[in-house]
Structure 1
Amino acid sequence: MNVVALFGTRFVHRVPCMVGVWRKLCDYSSDGDAMMDNGFQLIEEPLKRTWGDSGPDSGSELETHIESRWSQRQRGRFEAERVIEVLRQDGPGVDTKAALTELHIKVSWILVREVLVGILRTISPDNKARWAKLGYKFFVWSGQQDNYRHSVNSYNLILKIFADCDEFMAMWRVVEEMTESGFPTTARTFNILICTCAEAGLARRVVERFIQSKTFNYRPFKHSYNAIIYSLLGVRHYRLIDWVHQKMLGQGLFPDVLTYNVIMCAKYRLGELGQVWKVVDEMVRNGYSPDFHTYNIILHVLGKGNKPLAAHKLLNHMKEEGIGPCVLHYTTLIDGLSRAGNLQACEGFLDEMKKNGCLPDVVCYTVIITAYVMAGEFEKAQAMFDDMTTNGQLPNAFTYSSMIRGYCMAGKYKVAISMLNEMESKGCSPTFLVYRTLVSNLRSAGKFREARSIIEQMVEKGRYAHLVQKIRGNWQS
């Protein structure tokens, strides 16, 4: 397909380079693990807060304001620790609410947030029933204090606690309480519910409820349907996205650029690449110009389809339309090409990217390194890793994971273990995938003592306690 021909005659004006609330990232999974997404995904990013006209207008006032906010946050964290310690002592014969009152602390949104976030960090499979109860006990107590009223944010936090604790009925009771108290359900509320209910098989029921809701505050999205399909994309409910899209059309609402982008991404994830082009054609036919993110999706489709020439033409077309390809676009394309096994094209576009003044970032380097590892080009992977660190880019957990896998594939187990320790020394906490990759390869090589040592290291550092048994159980079997 000639992409330039598809777009060129249909543009009426230059495509705006939108700096919005979401961007796409390339995540490369060589493991097929659910913890690493297969392909790029849409990640919502909050808009950066800037000082308005009513904010501080001098350096000293700004410093005073920042110092005051920092002091409030620190005090809130200190008092939250006291509250959580009281909650830990809850049990038969203990009046926890009276004990909280005896702390004589002022309840504020900062305190409530810090306590609820602290509880979220404490939840584990072994204690979730207890902390669901304690979290709600604090939530009720704080809501009864003078000069304080729960906000939408605090309701969403207690919802998240119930969601993480698998307390579905309690979660819906909080939603009812929230609406009865006059608060709108937000896009964040929907996201929490859909993430939880997707696993329980109740996703469509949640969607129907929010479509019919009169109190759904879907900002910053144009309409509720966009908020819904955007959240569905995050939980990989691609088939349901198309159903919501048809519902939207039935209500007389028409898609905008965001709608089309989400639908295209869903079609791509379903492997329906031909449908992606149909959506692009419909989008342009209806007068919408592809934006920064649309091009990113198309580049990934072209890359995975191993069409470097069409991708090159599209990059040139982007420049003509006023969107200079950035490192994100090149990384997306390289990621797709690496999946298609075309390393030569990957190297070519990496060189082109550098010539155009786009310096590779950690994601780009990780994609290239992983491609080399999966192709068995360990020396090139090492050279790219060295180039990365020389250019001041700090490896992340996924970079280390790919390198560790490469060393294991090359039989260099001591170096792989050494790299795990290097991660720790540089303040990069290993993901569970890193541990699992290393333990699995050590066991496959018959190095059971070394594998057991890695598991003991996880236990000693208190990492992934709820998943350690999974590795240990597999090893014992």
Structure 2
Amino acid sequence: MNVVALFGTRLVHRVPCIVGVSRKLCDYSSDGDAMMDNGFQLIEEPLKMTWGDSGPDSRSEFEIHIESRWCERQQGRFQAERVIEVLMQDGPGVDSIAALTELHLKVSWILVREVLVGILRTINPDNKARWAKLGYKFFLWSGQQENYRHSSSSYNLIMKIFADCDEFMAMWRLVDEMTENGFPTTARTFNILICTCGEAGLARRVVERFIQSKTFNYRPFKHSYNAIICSLLGVRHYRLIDWVHQKMLGQGLYPDVLTYNVIMCAKYRLGELGQVWRMVDDMVRNGFSPDFHTYNIILHVLGKANRPIAAHKLLIHMKEEGIDPCVLHYTTLMDGLSRAGNLQACEWFLDEMKKNGCLPDVVCYTVIITSYVVAGEFEKAQAIFDDMTAKGQLPNAFTYNSMIRGYCMAGNYKVAISMLKEMESKGCSPNFLVYRTLVSNLRNAGKLREARGIIKQMVEKGRYGHLARKIRWNWQS
């Protein structure tokens, strides 16, 4: 297929859609924030204009407002800590509700949010039943206080607490209470429910309820179907996305660029590459121009299909249409090519990216390093890792995970273990994937003492304690 011919000469608009869809194509990145300006100019410039010649001691209304908001949030956090301390003392003979009233707090949305978020951070498998009860007790108490009324956001937070505590019936009762009290359900509400009920096989029922709902506030999306499919993409319900798409067409609604991008991403994840091309054809035929994210999806498809020449032509076409390929596009392409086993093409596009003024970021380096490790070329992976650190790029947990895996494959277990300390010395906390990779490789190599030491370290540092016990249980069984 001539990829360039698909798009004609239409001007491609940069539409900021699908938050995180493009980055999710690279499995090696996880919750990594994109590079952004620090935004200080947005604050400094208005202040400079306001000060003028009045001297540095003058303060604008803007500055006073910012300081007031900051003080309000700090006070809310301090009061939330006091509330949580009172709730933790709840038990036989202790009236926590009376103790909360005696604090004489002014209940506000900030206070309620800080308390509920604090409870979410405290929940673990050993205390979830207790915190579900205490969280709801605080929710009821705060809703009865003068000059305060719960909002959709506070309902969503207590629903999230019930979800994390496996209190599914209570969660659904809250949804009914929320709608009965006149609060709209939001995209966040749907996301909480679909994440919880998807595993229980209730996902389609949740979707149907929200499609039929008259109180679903799906903003900022154009319509409810886009809000639903974006949430489904986040929880990997790819088959259900296609079902929602058919429902959408049955209602007489037609896809926009965001809809097409989500559906193409779902088709790609399902391995239905032919369907991706059909969606591209349908998109262009209906008068929509591919955007930044569309090109990113197509580049990954071309990479995984091992079509570097077509990908190169597409990159040229993007420039002609006014979109300069960035590090994300090149990284996505190299990720696909590496999965197809074409490391030579990966190296060529890495050089091409640098020639075009795109500097590799941590995700790009991690993709290349992982590709070499998977291919058994650890010396090249080590060279890329050294080049990365020499140029000031700080490795993330996934970079270290690939390097640890590489050291284990090379039989250098001592260095692999030492990388845990190196990570922490550079401010990068090991995630569960790193621990699991190291423990698994040590166990398979017969180094049981070292593996037990890593599990002990996880427990002692309070990291993934319940998962550490699960690893140990699976190991012993």
Compute the TM-score of the two structures, normalised by the length of structure 2.
0.93
SS in structure 1 opposite 2:198?
helix
CA distance in 2, matches of 1:431, 1:310: 37
Q: Shift in Å at residue 475 of structure 1?
A: 3.0
CA distance in 2, matches of 1:51, 1:105: 34
Identity of aligned residues (%): 81
SS in structure 1 opposite 2:126?
coil
Which residue of structure 2 aligns with residue 300 of structure 1?
300
- Letter in structure 1 aligned against 2:441: N
Deviates more, 1:420-429 or 1:398-407: 420-429
CA deviations 1:289-323 (Å, max 9, x no partner) are 11110000000000000000000011111111111
Which residue of structure 1 aligns with residue 403 of structure 2?
403
Q: Does 1:16 align with 2:13?
A: yes
Q: Which runs of 5+ in 1 are unaligned?
A: 31-35
Q: Shift in Å at residue 168 of structure 1?
A: 1.1
Question: Where do 1:181-260 residues align within 5 Å?
Answer: 181-260=181-260
CA distance in 2, matches of 1:49, 1:279: 41
CA distance in 1, matches of 2:132, 2:464: 20
Q: Shift in Å at residue 339 of structure 1?
A: 0.3
Q: Is the 8 A contact 1:26 1:331 kept in 2?
A: no
Distance 1:50 1:190, change over 3 A: farther
Deviates more, 1:177-186 or 1:16-25: 16-25
Q: Is the 8 A contact 2:26 2:335 kept in 1?
A: yes
Q: Is the 8 A contact 1:299 1:333 kept in 2?
A: yes
Q: Is the 8 A contact 2:26 2:332 kept in 1?
A: no
Q: Is the 8 A contact 2:229 2:241 kept in 1?
A: yes
Q: Shift in Å at residue 200 of structure 1?
A: 1.1
Distance 1:329 1:287, change over 3 A: same
Which residue of structure 2 aligns with residue 67 of structure 1?
67
Which residue of structure 2 aligns with residue 324 of structure 1?
324
Which residue of structure 1 aligns with residue 23 of structure 2?
25
Q: Is the 8 A contact 2:84 2:115 kept in 1?
A: yes
- Letter in structure 2 aligned against 1:337: L
Which residue of structure 2 aligns with residue 472 of structure 1?
472
Q: Is the 8 A contact 2:160 2:192 kept in 1?
A: yes
CA distance in 2, matches of 1:49, 1:192: 34
CA deviations 1:115-172 (Å, max 9, x no partner) are 1001001111111111111101000101111111112211111111111111111111
CA RMSD of aligned residues (A): 2.2
CA distance in 2, matches of 1:63, 1:341: 55
Consecutive aligned runs of 4 or more in structure 1 exceeding 4 Å deviation: 26-30, 48-52
Which residue of structure 2 aligns with residue 430 of structure 1?
430
- Letter in structure 2 aligned against 1:359: L
Which residue of structure 2 aligns with residue 276 of structure 1?
276
Q: Is the 8 A contact 1:26 1:363 kept in 2?
A: no
CA distance in 2, matches of 1:58, 1:267: 53
Which residue of structure 2 aligns with residue 2 of structure 1?
2
Q: Shift in Å at residue 472 of structure 1?
A: 1.3
Which residue of structure 1 aligns with residue 457 of structure 2?
457
Deviates more, 1:444-453 or 1:323-332: 444-453
Which residue of structure 1 aligns with residue 146 of structure 2?
146
Q: Shift in Å at residue 29 of structure 1?
A: 5.1
Which residue of structure 2 aligns with residue 33 of structure 1?
none
Compute the TM-score of the two structures, normalised by the length of structure 1.
0.93
Which residue of structure 1 aligns with residue 388 of structure 2?
388
CA deviations 1:308-353 (Å, max 9, x no partner) are 0000011111111111111110000000000000000001001111
Q: Is the 8 A contact 1:26 1:332 kept in 2?
A: no
Which residue of structure 1 aligns with residue 54 of structure 2?
none
CA distance in 1, matches of 2:227, 2:25: 23
CA deviations 1:61-94 (Å, max 9, x no partner) are 3443333322222221111111111111111232
How many pairs were matched up?
462
CA distance in 2, matches of 1:137, 1:49: 41
Q: Is the 8 A contact 2:397 2:428 kept in 1?
A: yes
Q: Is the 8 A contact 2:25 2:300 kept in 1?
A: no
Q: Shift in Å at residue 442 of structure 1?
A: 0.9
CA distance in 2, matches of 1:364, 1:51: 30
Which residue of structure 2 aligns with residue 109 of structure 1?
109
CA distance in 1, matches of 2:25, 2:283: 27
- Letter in structure 1 aligned against 2:23: L
Which residue of structure 2 aligns with residue 119 of structure 1?
119
Distance 1:20 1:247, change over 3 A: closer
Q: Shift in Å at residue 49 of structure 1?
A: 12
CA distance in 1, matches of 2:40, 2:466: 37
Q: Is the 8 A contact 1:459 1:465 kept in 2?
A: yes
Which residue of structure 1 aligns with residue 311 of structure 2?
311
CA distance in 2, matches of 1:239, 1:436: 30
